[in-house]
Structures are given as C-alpha cells and as structure tokens.
Amino acid sequence: MDESDDEWKQVVNDLNNLPWIVWHLTLLDPDGLLDEDTVADQTADPVTDAAILYGCVYEYCGDDDWMPDGTKYYRWTIGVTQAEHRRLIGNTPVVVAEVLGALFSVLPPELQSDRLWTHGPDIYATRIRNFEYGGYPGNEP
C-alpha cells in the first residue's frame, strides 16, 4: 500500500467521522452580472437562514477572487454537521441544496445554470475547522 492510499483513507475517514464538514458552493460569473461590493451582504441573510434550519453554520462569502483566465467567481462557505452531511439528495446534502435554493432566490436568473455552479466538501478546511478551532463553538452538532 502506498502513501497516497493511506492519505485517501484518512480523507474518507475524516469525511465520515468528523463532527463538522466544511462545504463550498462556488459560482462563476463570466459575464460580470454581480456587483462584487454587494454580493456578500445580499446573500448573507438567506444563506444563514437556510443553514440554520438544518443546524448548520454559514461562514462567509468570498467575493474578491478571479480564475486565472480573469473570470470572476464567488464562494459561499458553510459548516455542515456530520448528520446533515449524510442526509443526501443524490450526492448533495439537503442543506447544501437548500442553500443553493436560497442563493437562487436572490441572484439573477441568468446565474442559475448548472454550468456556472460547483459544490463540494473541502477536506483541508474541514480538518482546520475541527482540529484547530474545535468546530463552531456555540453551535454543537
């Protein structure tokens, strides 16, 4: 067994056992439809409300990033409890789908295309959140 197999087993173990899993929802905005100065504020309340319904935590919206080709993108970060991480629609936690729906409710319809969105867990952020910060103090899973 090589080292990469051991590392992958650790990733799977962490995603299956740590109390909090950090998820990112990322939107590409190739046509610059959004005002980067207002996106975080505009989306904070709906995303917070959607996350709280499931006992999860909205962290922030990264709104100052560009792809190497100059495409603007936005990334919403949420902390998902292990229980909610396992409650899926297809391969997506229900809470992540709810947050996406909350974002769709406040963003322009032109940005609802599947080709513009990605989402998934971030193992590095998950490990930092659990091992360095002890989860989300005051929000026990």
Residue 14 lies inside a defined structural domain of this protein: no
Element (H, E) at 120: strand 117-121
- Over residues 70-103, the pLDDT tens digits come to 999 999 999 999 999 999 999 999 999 999 999 9
Q: What range defines the domain where residue 59 resides?
A: 19-132
Domain count within the chain: 1
Residue 140 lies inside a defined structural domain of this protein: no
pLDDT of residue 138: 86
pLDDT of residue 1: 53
- 111: its two tokens: 């940005």
| CA–CA distance, 8 with 84 (Å, rounded to integer) | 22
Domain harbouring 58, CATH code: 3.30.70
Contact (CB, 8 A) for 18 and 130: yes
Class of residue 56 by CB neighbours under 10 A (exposed 0-12, middle 13-18, buried 19+): buried
Residue 138 lies inside a defined structural domain of this protein: no
Residue 13 lies inside a defined structural domain of this protein: no
Residue 83 lies inside a defined structural domain of this protein: yes
Residue 137 lies inside a defined structural domain of this protein: no
Model confidence, pTM:
0.92
Residue 6 lies inside a defined structural domain of this protein: no
- 107: its two tokens: 């963003």
Question: What's the rounded mean pLDDT across residues 102-122?
Answer: 97
